[in-house]
């Protein structure tokens, strides 16, 4: 059976997709192939372990965090259609080409704590329209609803890309023989109801009351107010958790908590929450902070954090209702 390659698929799309945007997406895909190769080699390539310093978030960087970030920066900053880049791993944005059509934001290696134990990790990307001929920091301050495209690459038992250009969500699987991302599923739909949830339960004592109430109801199962049993899943990699929800529904929560009250949330708005929210909404799901729709948030800084409650619409609506 013949399958469309990523390039062939992009040639057939319309809507948000311009030839320039297609080229940017292809470059991201090609770079992720290089990251995938290094991940496959693992210890054989000497790329495991700590880089011995922290990123702008105050988190320990892994060697592959740094390498993945460098790969994406090097490939995209010379791209004729990219005006500027922003990475979760860097303090400031990286200027690219004058008169570039798009701005690219990314988390080069989500879930990097999984690297050294050979568990799934991923690359998340968000593409915004460029505002000016020469990119300034304020040009990145666009609400997620303005994204031209978003997606992720999951490095797992098979390497997959999830992509939206504003006309639904599709999956590609990387074929080691042809070295191409091939279309394997389109029209991804997330069911409105679910029996699976994902949350870091070790933070339970720090949660706000609405989240405690919701999770207590799930734990009560058939004998509780929900009258059905739920299963908990937690991959410690947002890409892995969101991919599971896109495949079989569910809800993922990294809510606001009082562990560090100065932080508005754990996840970054522009590198994680916005692209994942665009994917989820395009698949029929929902995404809020517990109080407001994530894609409507006007960013005020490059590394802004937000709470995230995302997944099957009826569950997200219920948690949001408990907050409001």
Among 155, 185, 215, give the residue marking a domain's end: 185
Say whether 272 counts as a known binding-site residue: yes
Low-confidence ranges of the chain (pLDDT < 70): 1, 14-15, 43-62
Q: Is 113 annotated as a binding residue?
A: yes
Query: Model confidence over 191-223: pLDDT tens digits?
Result: 999 999 999 999 999 999 999 999 999 999 999
Burial of 316 (0-12, 13-18, 19+ CB in 10 A): buried
Please identify, among 185, 214, 244, the residue that sits at the C-terminal boundary of a domain: 185
Residue 1 lies in a domain: no
Q: Within this chain, do residues 25 and 150 fall inside the same structural domain, yes or no?
A: yes
At residue 46, the pLDDT reads 67
**What pLDDT is stored for residue 49 in this prediction?**
59
Is residue 258 domain-shared with residue 114, that is, in the same domain? no
Ordered DSSP codes for 219-285:
HHGGGSTT-S--EE---S-HHHHHHHHHHH--EEEE--BSSSTTSS-SEEIIIIIHHHHHHHHHTT-
Structurally, how many domains does the chain consist of?
A: 2
Q: Are 199 and 267 spatial neighbours (Cβ–Cβ below 8 Å)?
A: no
Residue that is written with structure tokens 């969101």 in the block: 242
CATH number at residue 211: 3.40.190.80
Residues 167 and 202 in one domain: no
Q: For residue 71, which phi and psi values (nearest 5 degrees)?
A: -60, -50
Among 147, 162, 185, where does a domain finish? 185
CA separation for the pair 153, 91 (Å, rounded): 23
Structure tokens at 91: 């303090």
- 50 DSSP β-pair partners: 62
Q: Are strands 180-185 and 170-175 parallel, antiparallel or unpaired?
A: antiparallel
Residue 88 is labelled as binding a ligand: yes
Q: Tokens for 64?
A: 């592959």
Residue 191 lies in a domain: no
Boundaries of domain holding 94: 6-185
Considering the domain architecture, whether residues 63 and 152 belong to the same structural domain is answered as: yes
For residue 44, the model assigns a pLDDT of 66
Nearest to 125 by CA among 99, 98, 164: 164
Is 126 in the same domain as 151? yes
- Is 112 among the annotated ligand-binding positions? yes
Q: Residue 77 falls within a domain, yes or no?
A: yes
Q: Measured between alpha carbons, how far is 76 from 68 in angstroms, rounded to an integer?
A: 12
Tell me if 277 is assigned to a ligand binding site.
no
Regarding whether 163 and 291 lie in a shared domain, the answer is no
The response to whether 34 counts as a known ligand-binding position is no
Residue 200 assigned ligand-binding role? yes
Q: Is residue 149 part of a domain?
A: yes
| Distance separating alpha carbons of residues 217 and 205, to the nearest angstrom | 16
d(C-alpha 170, C-alpha 110), whole Å: 20
**CATH number for the domain that contains residue 11:** 3.30.540.10
Angstrom distances, CA of residue 151 to CA of 100, 154, 210, 283, 324: 20, 10, 30, 12, 30
For residue 314, how far is the Cα from the chain centroid? Answer: 21
How confident is the model over 110-158, as pLDDT tens digits?
988 887 888 899 999 999 999 999 999 999 999 999 999 999 999 989 9
Q: Which pLDDT score, from 0 to 100, does residue 57 have?
A: 58
Residues 100 and 203 in one domain: no
CA dihedral 196, 197, 198, 199 (to 10 degrees): -150
Whether 101 and 24 share a structural domain: yes
For residue 111, give both structure tokens: 């879930």
Q: At what angle do helices 238-248 and 274-282 cross, to 10 degrees?
A: 10
Q: Are residues 215 and 83 in the same domain?
A: no
Residues 255 and 131 in one domain: no
Please tell me whether 281 is known to bind a ligand: no
- Same domain (yes/no): 143, 178: yes
Residues 178 and 200 in one domain: no
């Amino acid at each position: 059976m013949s399958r469309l390659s990523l390039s062939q698929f992009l040639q057939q799309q319309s809507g948000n997709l311009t030839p320039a945007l297609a080229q940017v997406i292809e470059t991201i895909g090609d770079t992720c192939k290089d990251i995938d190769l290094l991940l496959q080699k693992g210890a054989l390539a000497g790329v495991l372990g700590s880089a011995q310093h922290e990123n702008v978030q105050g988190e320990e960087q892994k060697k592959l965090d740094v390498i993945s970030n460098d790969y994406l920066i090097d490939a995209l900053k010379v791209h004729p259609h990219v005006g500027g880049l922003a990475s979760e791993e860097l303090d400031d944005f990286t200027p690219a080409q004058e008169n570039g059509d798009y701005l690219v934001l990314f988390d080069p290696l989500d879930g990097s704590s999984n690297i050294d134990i050979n568990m799934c990790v991923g690359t998340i990307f968000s593409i915004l329209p460029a505002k000016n001929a020469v990119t300034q920091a304020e040009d990145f301050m666009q609400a997620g609803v303005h994204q031209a495209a978003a997606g992720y690459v999951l490095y797992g038992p098979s390497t997959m890309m999830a992509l939206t250009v504003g006309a639904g969500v599709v999956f590609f699987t990387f074929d080691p023989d042809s070295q191409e991302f091939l279309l394997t599923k389109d029209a991804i739909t997330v069911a409105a109801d679910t029996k699976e949830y994902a949350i870091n339960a070790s933070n339970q004592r720090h949660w706000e009351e609405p989240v405690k109430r919701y999770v207590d109801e799930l734990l009560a199962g058939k004998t509780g107010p929900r009258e059905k049993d739920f299963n908990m899943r937690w991959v410690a990699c947002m890409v892995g958790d969101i991919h599971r929800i896109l495949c079989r529904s569910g809800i993922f929560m990294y809510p606001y908590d009082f562990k560090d009250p100065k932080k508005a949330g754990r996840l970054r708005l522009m590198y994680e929450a916005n692209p994942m929210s665009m994917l989820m909404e395009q698949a029929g799901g929902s995404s809020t902070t517990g109080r407001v729709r994530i894609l409507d948030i006007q960013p005020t800084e490059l590394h802004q954090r937000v709470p995230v409650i995302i997944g099957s619409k009826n569950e997200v609506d219920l948690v949001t209702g408990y907050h409001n």
